[in-house]
Amino acid sequence: MKLRSFVALGALLVGFASCSSDAPNAVDTSAAISVAATDAPATTTTAAAPTTAAAPTPLHILVTNDDGFDAPGIDAIVEYLRTIDNVEVSVVAPATNQSGTSDKTTPGDLVVADVKTLSGYPAKSVAGFPADSVLWAINGGLSVKPDLVVSGSNLGQNYGPLTVISGTVGAAATAARNGIPAIAISQGTAVAPAMPYFPASVTVLSGYLADTLASYRDGTARLLVTINVPTCPLEATLFPTLVAPRALDANGRPLGAPATCDGPLTADPADDIDAFNAGHGVVSYLNPTDLTAAAP
Under 8 Å between Cβ of 211 and 236: no
Q: Pick the residue with more confidence: 296 or 49? A: 296
Most confident of 8-12, 49-53, 88-92: 88-92
Q: Using the 8-state DSSP alphabet, how is residue 229 labeled?
A: E
Give the CA distances from residue 71 to residues 75, 97, 150, 153, in Å, rounded to whole numbers and listed in that order: 7, 9, 15, 9
**Model confidence band, residue 295 (pLDDT cutoffs 50, 70, 90):** confident
pLDDT at 46: 52
Under 8 Å between Cβ of 279 and 252: no
pLDDT above 70 covers a percentage of the chain that reads: 81
CATH number (3.30.470.20, 3.90.550.50, 3.40.1210.10, 3.40.50.300) of 59-285 reads: 3.40.1210.10
Q: What are phi and psi of 201, to 5 degrees?
A: -60, -40
64 three-class SS: strand
Under 8 Å between Cβ of 112 and 124: yes
**Model confidence band, residue 51 (pLDDT cutoffs 50, 70, 90):** low
* Average pLDDT rounded to a whole number, residues 107-123: 97
pLDDT at 13: 32
Distance, in Å, from the CA atom of 185 to the CA atom of 187, rounded to the nearest integer, reads 7
**Model confidence band, residue 36 (pLDDT cutoffs 50, 70, 90):** very low
pLDDT at 237: 81
Under 8 Å between Cβ of 286 and 272: no
Structure-derived torsion over alpha carbons of residues 168, 169, 171, 176, reported in degrees to the nearest 10:
150
pLDDT per residue over 139-160, tens digit each? Answer: 999 999 999 999 999 999 999 9
pLDDT above 90 covers a percentage of the chain that reads: 76
Most confident of 32-41, 49-58, 122-131: 122-131
* pLDDT at 259 exceeding the cut of 60: yes
pLDDT at 233: 86
* Average pLDDT rounded to a whole number, residues 54-63: 89
Nearest to 283 by CA among 164, 184, 143, 140: 184
pLDDT at 11: 38
pLDDT per residue over 154-198, tens digit each? Answer: 999 999 999 999 999 999 999 999 999 999 999 999 998 899 999
Nearest to 161 by CA among 256, 73, 289: 256
Neighbour tally for 164: CB within 10 Å: 18
